[in-house]
Structure 1
Amino acid sequence: MARYQDIYAQLADLDIEGEENGEFVLEDGVEEEINKYELCLVGRFLTEKNINNGAMKTKMADVWKPAMGISIKEIEMGFYLFQFYHREDLQWVLNGGPWSFDNAILVVDVIPSGEEPLKVPLWHLNFWIQIHDLPTGFMFEAVGKQLGNFFGEFLLYDDKNNTSIWRECMRIKVCLDVRKPLKRKKKITRKNGSEFVVSCKYERLGEFCFSCGLISHTERFCRRYLDKRVDGPKEWGSWLRAPPRRGLSQARSKWLREEGDVDWESKFGRSDDTRVLRKGWSKIQEMR
């Protein structure tokens, strides 16, 4: 009997909750130092449609062409883990885009060390946008930064777009929050009080809603559209999509010459000797 009394006394003195919640520090060297997701991106497609995983994997691999290959796995419905095998391949995909499959835009991001893929917020996309209808005197980077921070968050100014004598638009890279509607235009006031309006076009813009301006769905799944809260003309439309910058299906004519291409003549046999002969022939024609 005394033995059982001793046991009951010991149990009474135990503070299980206190021991469980007490400080417990791991010794140095036992934590995982390597980020197992270092060469991975997590992503999701902005669509309400079902994704054909087999077709998507083939399409994305063909588009990205990673030199060391890629593995793609659906870790939860609608969320994908893209595993690369070289940092250059991962960085190329991360810097490019926006990417899409079946017109559904893909949001991807890196996975910080110690973080789980499904906990990474996937709300931001980097887009190249074109600013149209800017007067010539406003085609410089300082203006681009201000406009970039209006249409999204300014990231980069394309100074190579300024090499031509005539520029159709300004080109800047911005970060967009996919939870907000696409911005379409901006009225700007000069110092003298006069005003003008610039319009924005988005490069490689996939499907989006013409009723609310969000790129997370189309009208088919838009609550605003389904509730018939949209009257009159749509405020968004396909005109927000910038046309492709290069005609991939058209071969470039050898007779087209870029401004400043001083080597064009030599590329096509227009050497100095050829120019001399041409000048000589012109003089003969004048004498006639």
Structure 2
Amino acid sequence: MARHEDIEMQLAELDIDGEENEQLVFEEGVDETVNKFELCLIGRFLTEKTINSRAMMSKMADVWKPAMGINIKELDTGVFIFQFYHNEDMRWVLNGGPWSFDNAMLVMETIPLGVEPMKVSLWHLNIWIQIHDLPTGFMSEIVGKQLGNFFGEFLEYDPKNNSSIWRECMRLKIRLDVRKPLKRKKKITRKNGGDFIVNCKYERLGEFCFICGLVSHTDRFCRRFLDKRSESAVKEWGVWLRAPPRRAVGQQKSKWLREENDGEWETRMGRSNDIPPFPEKAKNGGREIFKIWIRMGKALIER
């Protein structure tokens, strides 16, 4: 049996640091080209409040309705990983934002190959904005790109929003840095002289600070307000930055209300192309209109 002194001497001679620093090469069994997070999104909510994780998971699953289901886990306080089971489900959620829970906006990103989820930067939000008060002639995509890069980083121009005979606003998708205040307006100078100001509204904008313009907190948690609590805080941002819903929630659209360039409206309504239109002017004291009504009624009955 070895003496106690001998054991201590043997331990002292061991080169632990040298053994730990020796290279260990794995020749098989490792595939660094596989991204196990290929169908996952990492996200966090922009809020100082505590998120009710269980309620959030249930709510977001109900809102997204992924065809193949979804698994949500909290990796750290306020940071969640969203695992999908089909690429189309993940793509729809990623492109359909911005999303929010309890009025707190959700920042989401894909997880690149070889990057740990908790190391993914979560500082940018893709959001649709509306540019109002643009004069006629300034509704082009070229102008939209310049404005998009001013209010954020330009991503997409919505050409369908400009199909109406009366274009109320320009619609753009931008990438927003949530560490910067929301931009509200921009002064533009014409080449031939004269200035005008365009105003920006944000679609589906959740809670944000009316004092500093950041979307990461509300007035109550604003450092600018807390540092000057004895003074009256000036609110230079407001609810007017929120764009109204594009379609009223829960309100059904009348079947008689026809959109511009809707070529299928007559088919859906059971109208036939061989039915003559109303004449521009009534003839013979209105008898011509009465005859057309009779013909339309017979045509509909025969159908």
Alignment TM-score > 0.5, same fold: yes
Check 1:267–1:78 CA distance in 2 against 1; reply closer, same or farther (3 A cut): closer
Check 1:287–1:16 CA distance in 2 against 1; reply closer, same or farther (3 A cut): closer
Extract unaligned runs of 5+ from structure 2: 289-303
Q: Which TM-score applies when normalising by structure 1?
A: 0.88
Distance in structure 2 (CA, Å) of the matches to 1:287 and 1:87: 62
What corresponds to 1:38 in structure 2?
Answer: 38
What corresponds to 2:276 in structure 1?
Answer: 275
Check 1:231–1:61 CA distance in 2 against 1; reply closer, same or farther (3 A cut): same
Q: Shift of residue 283 of structure 1? A: 4.5
What corresponds to 2:114 in structure 1?
Answer: 114
Q: How does 1:149-160 map to 2 (within 5 A)?
A: 149-160=149-160
- Check whether the contact 2:41–2:83 (CA below 8 A) recurs between aligned residues: yes
The secondary structure found in structure 1 opposite 2:172 is strand
The secondary structure found in structure 1 opposite 2:201 is strand
Check 1:145–1:221 CA distance in 2 against 1; reply closer, same or farther (3 A cut): same
Check 1:25–1:165 CA distance in 2 against 1; reply closer, same or farther (3 A cut): same
Check 1:221–1:197 CA distance in 2 against 1; reply closer, same or farther (3 A cut): same
* C-alpha distance after superposition, 1:100-157 (max 9, x if no partner): 0000001111112222111111101000000000111110000000011000000011
Q: How does 1:102-251 map to 2 (within 5 A)?
A: 102-228=102-228, 231=232, 233-251=234-252
What is the number of equivalent residue pairs in this alignment? Answer: 281
Check 1:130–1:22 CA distance in 2 against 1; reply closer, same or farther (3 A cut): same
What corresponds to 1:56 in structure 2?
Answer: 56
* C-alpha distance after superposition, 1:35-71 (max 9, x if no partner): 2211111111101111111111111001100000011
Identity, in percent, stands at 69
The secondary structure found in structure 1 opposite 2:121 is coil
Distance in structure 1 (CA, Å) of the matches to 2:226 and 2:178: 21
The residue type equivalent to 2:239 in the other structure is S
The residue type equivalent to 2:58 in the other structure is T
Q: Shift of residue 271 of structure 1? A: 2.3
Extract unaligned runs of 5+ from structure 1: none
Distance in structure 2 (CA, Å) of the matches to 1:92 and 1:206: 20
Distance in structure 1 (CA, Å) of the matches to 2:214 and 2:262: 43
Q: Shift of residue 31 of structure 1? A: 3.6
Q: Which TM-score applies when normalising by structure 2?
A: 0.84
